[in-house]
Amino acid sequence: MALSPEEVNHVAMLARLALSEDEKTAFAEQLTLILDYVERLNELDTGEVEPLIHILPVFNVLRQDEALPGSSQEEILSNAPLVEDGQYKVPRII
Amino acid sequence: MDLYKLTVHELQDKLLAGEISSEDIVKSLFSRIALVEEKAQAFITLCEETALEGARRIDQQDEYGGIKGIPYGLKDLFCTRGIKTTCASRMLENFVPSYESTASKLLNEKGGILLGKLNLDEFAMGCSTEQSAFFPSRNPWDWERVPGGSSGGCAAAVAAGEIPFALASDTGGSIRQPASYCGIVGLKPTYGRVSRWGVAAFASSLDQVGILSRGVRDCALILKIIAGKDPLDATSADIEVPNYCAFLDGEVKGMRIAYPREYFQHWVTESIRTAVMKALRKFEELGAIVEEVSLPHSEYALPAYYIVAPAEASTNLARFDGVRYGLRDDEADNVIDMFSLSRAQGFGPEVKRRIMLGTYALSSGYYDAYYLKAMKVRRLIASDFAKVFRDFDLIVSPTTPTTAFKLGEQIDDTLTLYMNDALTVPVNMAGLPGISIPCALDDGLPVGMQLIGRAFDEATLLKAAYAFEQNTDYHRLTPVPGGGINE
Amino acid sequence: MSKEFETVIGLEVHAELKTESKIFCSCSTAFGAEPNSQVCPFCAGFPGALPVLNEKVLELAIRTGIALNCEIPEYCKFDRKNYFYPDLPAAYQISQYDQPVCINGYLEIDLDGEIKRIRINRAHMEEDAGKLVHQGDITTTPFSLVDLNRCGIGLLEIVSEPDMRSAREARAYLEKLRSILLFAGVSDCKMQEGSLRCDANISVRPAGQEELGTRTEIKNLNSFRSLERAIEYEARRHVEAIEDGEELLQETRTWDEEKQVTRSMRSKEEADDYRYFPDPDLPPLRISRERIEEVRRQMPELPDVAQERLVETYGLPHYDATILTTTPDYLEFFDRVIKIYPDAKVVANWMMSELNKYLNQSNLEISDCLIKPENLVEMLQLIDDGTISGKMAKTVFAEMFNSGKRAPEVVREKGMVQISDEKALSAIIESIVNGNPKVVEDYRNGKEKAFGFFVGQVMKATRGQANPAVVNKLLKEKLK
């Protein structure tokens, strides 16, 4: 079940990864290989099986509604590539 | 004095007896590092100054006990306040967190001294540490071979005597597999036993913080310190932490041990199968009852893992977008290009591969066929284990299908590389605790035996591991830098 | 709007929840702080950070479900909604997808005495994103700034069924929903501050047709008025497009308040695939029936119940009861006045006319009003004991509203005491009547309006302070 170039482009777009043409070809091959490998899961009939979404049989893990100090503005901006007026600066959206 | 050879317990004793100081230990380790690090390439960041400062401060207080004054290493996936945390990725090459992971905070509060941040496969994705964006680490038993992954730097450093123990993470075998390749102890606790706060997430439902050490007793000691409920991690379990060391009495009489036939198939090297069977006979000698069982869905664990883990990873790594920290492409004049170019430059090929795979598996039209299906298979795998644990206390298997392979040997063969985790992945899928301990040498290379326990029953796991260790000599074997064995 | 077409409207409302801390971390939710000063590794999307649910958010969600007559399933969970945007640090929003906390509810709107039920499809919990600041318009700005203070604040998204058929109904729904949320203590619902946001989904179809037409979504509706105007505009646009045979695209549009039109927001990109899946970092929620009862028992009084109470207890018309129960603060004001001054209709009239007028003019909330319940009572008592007339009271009221001074003080300062003394008034009437013999003759010849002239003159002479009843009585006698 080979992955088409359109599909690779689409996935790369969803994942916001700029790939070179070589990378796209390589990934198409490798992903197809892996997807073919995982195909064997269909040998199992899981119609009646409940998915194991949460490992621990735990519910309602809650915390109190209390405001506590977090990071300082300096800390939260300390690794930022570009800052202006205490805010992260990014190029245009559209 | 060759302090680098000592375990945590032995160092603890000497500190309490007043024979050595913490500063002595730190200095001894740095001498050792100076000797072997060029070959081992285990560290990304060394913290010599802060380690010495920390050691001196503790020496001044002159109050030892526990891990006070004892150095450790941390996989560079753990955020350390004020100290660079790279996850072995160009994306975070210069990232300095302002917060500390809970696990390392707990060690620090008890007087542990951080010696440095250790190499790994980028974002914990890999089985050999060759996926590190910076350099591969090497196996102290043979510098031409990989130390395993993703916690290869930690395993190499512990095996080479650069640190007595390290904290690392295990998602599909990342602690146990390197422990097996490097002849040391590697524990992955039950999912939820140790807080994940501050550890960069790879696969949220599979990641667990664990320990690499020389000797089971050290492992038990450290686990007691780092285990427990953390209000910052909703998936950390609110279950009492026993005094694990108290279980290390060397007794396994009457313990019921199972070995699953699916883990002893032809694709596991014969000498490894033989070695583990021999180890099982040792358990029988010590009074345990050993029987073969079946975990019928075992072969489906790896394919299911290779959907679940990349799917979760693809969303966990989406935060690396160049906006608030990490690598940003400066040339882009709009955010979409900025995202795509920054991520393309910041991530290595294996990380990109898994993000692509994971994104695909979650995408519209494929969620049911892949992610949901894999989670259903996951339930079957967990049930297999649950059934066996109704009648048995422990499951034993080889940790890895082979011993450490050569650098570059598997790098182009994705599926073969993934197969290295075939025996360890099912344990993460079921959320159970697993430990790897050395049980043989094969052609001069360590062979690891994996013990798997019931959820939150690390006590039984450690008890059995300790009993085997104390009745054999494999834990005493250490590598000579460049090859050969110290007996 | 062509009679042949029916407008079908559904509303999606986001209400910011009234909690001290954010939904998944302990950062403060306080408004107006320095940028990026109420942020932590979690809400800023740093590696290794994890969410833990705020118990108050869950409580408010349950309260809302009860208030909106919803079914609250025993289990619900959180899912990750994945997309990239600079105001979304983790590049996924923690929300609820296929198992939300509330489903299948409704509320009732009252349009000129007719009650219509608008069904609510679902309500779910999610986290808010940060704030983006542009230089001018989002479409032309060369860069944007990101402030994450708001990121992670708990929201409740409430989605109605497309049961509304006019802009007026939509407005009534939003007003009622706002009222309910305010009474339930769930949110501050301040549309201008963004703690209540509304998006509208509109389509049109030929009257009688069951199949729905092409649907568009409208964003950026910042007031009840923009909601109405935008819906009217958009419905017209749809009808025109259909009648002209033009293609109507299913898209998202933004309401341009200045130009009073909707504009397309579509970018060149394909629509996002959110890749929803259950969030592994958050254990699921189990809401027991006992818990729901507990929340129900502790629920504040809701608007419909309060309205009933006002009608039954005070015999107020339904319309009055509706106005008085617009917000809990408003109702509380009424309740406090009534405790001391039991004439409900009088109080209601003053609140619905004068008080409302000034509050709207100055854009104030009743809680910020300088007139307190006791102050209104005082003023009403001055009317009752004849110190001031009803008309004079309006002036007094205005001064009280602007200055915060109490009624007696205003009356004293302005020398506004009503003149009821017959002797004094007779004297004034005497002089006016004597000075206007022609008008007196007109009146005696049957011209009724002439009476009004004299009253006016007396009021002028007494600067409006003459007691009207006394003036009438004395004038009639005088002019006989």
> Which residue, among C158, C155, C154, C8, has the nearest Cα to C69 in the 3D structure?
C158
Measured CA to CA, the distance from residue C87 to residue C246 in angstroms comes to 36
User: Do C23 and C99 belong together in one domain?
Assistant: yes
pLDDT digits (tens, 9 = 90+) for B302-335: 999 999 999 999 999 999 999 999 999 999 999 9
| Residue B132 known to be catalytic | no
Stretches where chain C sits below pLDDT 50 are 268
Q: Touching check for A57 and chain C: CB below 8 Å? A: no
> Are residues A16 and B342 in contact, defined by beta-carbon separation less than 8 angstroms?
no
> Are residues B433 and B188 in contact, defined by beta-carbon separation less than 8 angstroms?
yes
| Topology of domain A5-43, CATH | Histone, subunit A (1.10.20)
> Are residues B410 and B128 in contact, defined by beta-carbon separation less than 8 angstroms?
yes
User: Do C34 and C80 belong together in one domain?
Assistant: yes
Domain count, chain C: 3
Q: Which residues of C191-215 are buried (b: 16+ CB within 10 A; e: fewer)?
A: beeebbbbbbbbbbbeeeeeeebbb
A23 to chain B nearest CA, in Å? 9
Measured CA to CA, the distance from residue B211 to residue B170 in angstroms comes to 9
Question: Which of C393, C414, C435 is the endpoint of a domain?
Answer: C414
Instruction: Nearest chain C residue to B368 by CA: give it.
Output: C277
User: Do C69 and C199 belong together in one domain?
Assistant: yes
Point out the catalytic residue in the list B22, B150, B169, B236. Answer: B150
C218 to chain B nearest CA, in Å? 24
Residue-level pLDDT at C478: 85
**Interface-testing mutation among B232, B356, B432, with chain A (most A C-beta atoms within 10 A):** B356
Residue-level pLDDT at C363: 82
| B397 residue type, one letter | S
Residue-level pLDDT at C2: 55
Chain C, 126 to 165: residues with Cβ < 8 Å from chain B are: 144, 146
Strand partners, B199: B78
> Which residue, among B228, B200, B192, has the nearest Cα to B76 in the 3D structure?
B200
In this predicted complex, what is the ipTM?
A: 0.96
Interchain CB distance below 8 Å, A38 and B303: yes
Residue-level pLDDT at C3: 64
Chain A, 64 to 93: residues with Cβ < 8 Å from chain C are: 64-68, 70-73, 76-77, 84-93
pTM: 0.92
Instruction: Nearest chain B residue to C82 by CA: give it.
Output: B315
User: Do C217 and C306 belong together in one domain?
Assistant: no
Chain C, 239 to 278: residues with Cβ < 8 Å from chain B are: 269, 273, 275-277
Structure token digits, residue B32: 């050792």
Q: Which of helix, strand or coil describes residue C175?
A: helix
Tell me which chain C residues have a C-beta less than 8 angstroms from the C-beta of A56.
283
Point out the catalytic residue in the list B14, B28, B68, B75. Answer: B75
User: Do C427 and C373 belong together in one domain?
Assistant: no
Alpha helices in C160-223 (DSSP H): 167-183
Tell me which chain B residues have a C-beta less than 8 angstroms from the C-beta of A71.
98-99
Residue C236, burial from CB neighbour count under 10 angstroms (0-12, 13-18, 19+): middle
Q: Touching check for C62 and chain A: CB below 8 Å? A: no
Measured CA to CA, the distance from residue B209 to residue C127 in angstroms comes to 28
User: Do C74 and C196 belong together in one domain?
Assistant: yes
A59 to chain C nearest CA, in Å? 5
Q: Which domain holds residue C395?
A: 298-414
Q: Touching check for B101 and chain C: CB below 8 Å? A: yes
Structure token digits, residue C62: 């349950």
Measured CA to CA, the distance from residue B207 to residue B411 in angstroms comes to 24
Nearest by CB to B232, from C46, C52, C53: name it: C52
Measured CA to CA, the distance from residue B380 to residue B300 in angstroms comes to 9
Measured CA to CA, the distance from residue B319 to residue B331 in angstroms comes to 20
Nearest by CB to B233, from C50, C91, C92: name it: C50
Instruction: Nearest chain A residue to C53 by CA: give it.
Output: A62
User: Do C248 and C305 belong together in one domain?
Assistant: no
Q: Which of helix, strand or coil describes residue C416?
A: coil
User: Do C12 and C56 belong together in one domain?
Assistant: yes
DSSP 8-state secondary structure symbol assigned to residue B57: H
Nearest by CB to B199, from C48, C53, C82: name it: C48
- Ordered by start, the domain boundaries in chain A are 5-43
Question: Which of C271, C291, C311 is the endpoint of a domain?
Answer: C291
User: Do C36 and C9 belong together in one domain?
Assistant: yes
With residues binned 3-state (H G I as helix, E B as strand, rest as coil), the percentages for chain B, rounded to 5, are: 45, 15, 40
| Residue B174 known to be catalytic | yes
> Which residue, among B115, B113, B93, has the nearest Cα to B34 in the 3D structure?
B115
pLDDT digits (tens, 9 = 90+) for C197-252: 999 999 999 998 999 999 999 998 989 999 999 999 999 999 999 999 998 888 89
Q: Touching check for A53 and chain C: CB below 8 Å? A: yes
Q: Once rounded to an integer, what is the mean pLDDT over residues A48-73?
A: 95
Interchain CB distance below 8 Å, C45 and B196: no
Structure token digits, residue C382: 């001055």
Structure token digits, residue B244: 């694990």
| Residue B150 known to be catalytic | yes
Residue-level pLDDT at C192: 83
Asked whether the CA dihedral B260, B262, B265, B269 is positive or negative, the reply is negative
Residue-level pLDDT at C268: 47
Interchain CB distance below 8 Å, B376 and A49: yes
Strands (E), C228-337: 252-256, 261-264, 277-278, 285-286
Chain A with chain C: Cβ pairs closer than 8 A: 128
B109 φ/ψ sector (left φ>0, alpha ψ -120 to 50, else beta): alpha
Interchain CB distance below 8 Å, B237 and A58: yes
Percent of chain A exceeding pLDDT 70 equals 99
| C425 residue type, one letter | L
Measured CA to CA, the distance from residue A75 to residue B85 in angstroms comes to 15
DSSP assignment of C85-102:
-TT-TTSEEEE--SS-SE
User: Do C310 and C327 belong together in one domain?
Assistant: yes
User: Do C41 and C113 belong together in one domain?
Assistant: yes
C214 to chain A nearest CA, in Å? 26
Chain B with chain C: Cβ pairs closer than 8 A: 98
Interchain CB distance below 8 Å, A38 and B374: yes
Question: Which of C364, C394, C414 is the endpoint of a domain?
Answer: C414
Which backbone phi and psi does C32 adopt, to 5 degrees? 85, 15
With residues binned 3-state (H G I as helix, E B as strand, rest as coil), the percentages for chain C, rounded to 5, are: 40, 20, 40
Interchain CB distance below 8 Å, A18 and B330: no
Interchain CB distance below 8 Å, B352 and A17: yes
> Which residue, among B323, B331, B356, has the nearest Cα to A13 in the 3D structure?
B356
Tell me which chain A residues have a C-beta less than 8 angstroms from the C-beta of C20.
65-67
Would you give per-residue pLDDT tens digits along chain B (487 residues)?
Answer: 689 999 999 999 999 999 999 999 999 999 999 999 999 999 999 999 999 999 999 999 988 999 999 999 999 999 999 999 999 999 999 999 999 999 999 999 999 999 999 999 999 999 999 999 999 999 999 999 999 999 999 999 999 999 999 999 999 999 999 999 999 999 999 999 999 999 999 999 999 999 999 999 999 999 999 999 999 999 999 999 999 999 999 999 999 999 999 999 999 999 999 999 999 999 999 999 999 999 999 999 999 999 999 999 999 999 999 999 999 999 999 999 999 999 999 999 999 999 999 999 999 989 999 999 999 999 999 999 999 999 999 999 999 999 999 999 987 788 888 899 999 999 999 999 999 999 999 999 999 999 999 999 999 999 999 999 999 998 888 887 655 566 5
User: Do C427 and C354 belong together in one domain?
Assistant: no
Structure token digits, residue B427: 């344990």
Alpha helices in C164-302 (DSSP H): 167-183, 224-243, 289-297
> What is the CATH number for C470?
1.10.10.410
Nearest by CB to C36, from A64, A76, A93: name it: A76
C282 to chain A nearest CA, in Å? 8
DSSP 8-state secondary structure symbol assigned to residue B402: S
* Whole-number Cα distances in Å, B315 to B117, B357, C118: 25, 11, 37
Measured CA to CA, the distance from residue C448 to residue C224 in angstroms comes to 47
Interchain CB distance below 8 Å, C50 and B197: yes
Q: Which long-range contacts (CB under 8 A, 24 or more apart) does C262-267 make?
A: C262/C216, C262/C218, C262/C230, C262/C233, C262/C234, C262/C237, C265/C219, C267/A94
